[in-house]
């Protein structure tokens, strides 16, 4: 069985990045297989990972593309030092198994380090991944120094493509889409609508965002829509407590379909992402591709986004979010329209065909070694 033009992908994630990238590669003739667990037990799935590499190698796969490593996280092991160390050793064995089988590893650095702890020492685990990877894909130039500090040797910058292909409302005119979305969501045409969409994690600052909205004078017609999966019961409770009974805040703390995400963004005046740290953000890219300006801290990792695409604040400014939100609320209609235009203009350069071609060239280079 031929081993050419085949790639194993781990893990499978609902992030639209994978759907767009591998849809493009599949159209070019690549066989894309996601490494998914065979059982409902996360523990058994982790144990079986090296064996599954052997099976896939027999099937002709010689390339493994790693995106995240959260699927090695076993909840019961987080409270045990011995278990956390054992999982880290098992991850190293998994990578060594790939090397011994002749499977080449490519890693896309969506995050330089995991935002949520996975192993006993996530930095050392990352160094093992970098050491075994034939190539590391950075989504922006700003990630390169941190990746080289981990020991990455062959770093290629291949940015996001456009998420504008994600299903949206049927109208072509932005104002019509906004009116239609607000009607579905039962929002007034005169409301100022802020949204947060995406998986909800502690570092994303959603609780801070909710508190910031609640502090706004109730005479302002502001609405906040928060939509995204929140796996942490403690975080969910904190967010709900911060919202209290304020009817201006609407929480949907569960996974949103692509259509629901588009509905939120179509209704929005601004998308707010008060991250505490970030390497790359598909949520910000998604908002900009819908022509929605953003509010976010001006981390170095986001400097490639023009300032004209939203309102920014310094990450170390404790009043930065409130200030940026106030500034956005006071923009004129013409200024808001200009930000929307800039967001769309910026994302016009995003091209999944080019992303797929660059990824394919890297795959071919890695396989030829």
Which residue ranges make up each domain of the chain? 6-161+351-367, 174-347
79 or 166, greater pLDDT: 79
Pick the CATH number of 174-347 from 3.30.930.10, 3.40.50.2000, 3.90.76.10, 3.40.50.2300: 3.40.50.2000
Contact in structure between 153 and 118 (CB atoms under 8 Å):
no
- Chain centroid offset of residue 90 CA: 26
Q: What is the DSSP letter of 255?
A: P
Topology given in CATH for the domain delimited by 6-161+351-367: Rossmann fold (3.40.50)
pLDDT digits (tens, 9 = 90+) for 266-295: 999 999 999 999 888 889 989 998 999 999
pLDDT higher than threshold 90 for residue 369? no
Q: Which pLDDT does position 4 carry in this prediction?
A: 65
70-121-111 Cα angle (round to 5): 45
Average pLDDT in the 229-248 region?
95
Average pLDDT in the 321-338 region?
95
What residues form DSSP beta bridges with 196? 226
pLDDT digits (tens, 9 = 90+) for 182-202: 999 999 999 999 999 999 999
Smallest CA-to-CA distance from 295 within 267, 322, 261, 265 is with 322
Q: Which pLDDT does position 359 carry in this prediction?
A: 97
pLDDT higher than threshold 70 for residue 217? yes
Hey, what are 82's tokens?
């011995």
Hey, what are 33's tokens?
């297989």
59: left (phi over 0), alpha (psi -120 to 50) or beta: alpha
Query: Rounded to an integer, what distance in angstroms lies between the CA atom of residue 291 and that of residue 260?
Result: 16
Hey, what are 122's tokens?
């996530």
Smallest CA-to-CA distance from 174 within 284, 286, 268 is with 268
In this prediction the pTM is: 0.78
């Amino acid at each position: 069985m031929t081993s050419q033009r085949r790639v194993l992908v781990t893990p499978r994630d609902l992030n639209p990045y994978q759907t767009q990238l591998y849809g493009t590669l599949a159209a070019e003739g690549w066989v894309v297989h996601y490494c998914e667990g065979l059982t409902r037990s996360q523990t058994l799935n982790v144990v079986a990972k090296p064996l599954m590499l052997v099976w896939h190698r027999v099937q002709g796969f010689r390339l493994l593309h790693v995106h995240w490593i959260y699927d090695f996280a076993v909840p019961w092991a987080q409270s045990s030092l011995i278990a956390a160390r054992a999982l880290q050793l098992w991850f190293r064995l998994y990578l060594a198994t790939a090397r011994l089988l002749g499977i080449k590893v490519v890693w896309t650095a969506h995050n330089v380090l995991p935002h949520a702890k996975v192993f006993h020492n996530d930095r050392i685990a990352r160094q093992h991944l970098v050491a075994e990877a034939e190539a590391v894909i950075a989504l922006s130039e700003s990630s390169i120094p941190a990746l080289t500090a981990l020991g990455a040797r062959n770093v290629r910058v291949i940015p996001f493509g456009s998420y504008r292909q994600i299903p949206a409302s049927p109208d072509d005119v932005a104002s019509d889409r906004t009116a239609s979305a607000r009607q579905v969501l039962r929002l007034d045409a005169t409301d100022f609508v802020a949204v947060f969409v995406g998986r909800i994690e502690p570092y994303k600052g959603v609780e801070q965002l909710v508190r910031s909205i609640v502090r706004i004078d109730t005479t302002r017609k502001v609405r906040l829509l928060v939509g995204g999966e929140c796996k942490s019961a403690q975080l969910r409770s904190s967010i709900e407590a911060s919202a209290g009974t304020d009817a201006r805040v609407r929480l949907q703390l569960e996974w949103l379909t692509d259509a629901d995400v588009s509905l939120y963004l179509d209704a929005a005046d601004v998308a707010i992402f008060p991250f505490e740290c970030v390497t790359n953000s598909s949520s910000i890219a998604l908002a900009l591709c819908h022509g929605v300006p953003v509010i976010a801290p001006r981390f170095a990792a986001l400097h490639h986004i023009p300032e004209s695409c939203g309102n920014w604040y310094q990450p170390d400014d404790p009043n930065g979010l409130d200030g940026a939100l106030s500034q956005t609320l006071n923009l004129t209609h013409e200024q808001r329209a200009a930000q929307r235009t800039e967001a769309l203009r910026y994302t016009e350069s995003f091209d999944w065909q080019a992303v797929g071609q660059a990824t394919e060239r890297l795959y071919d280079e890695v396989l030829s070694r």
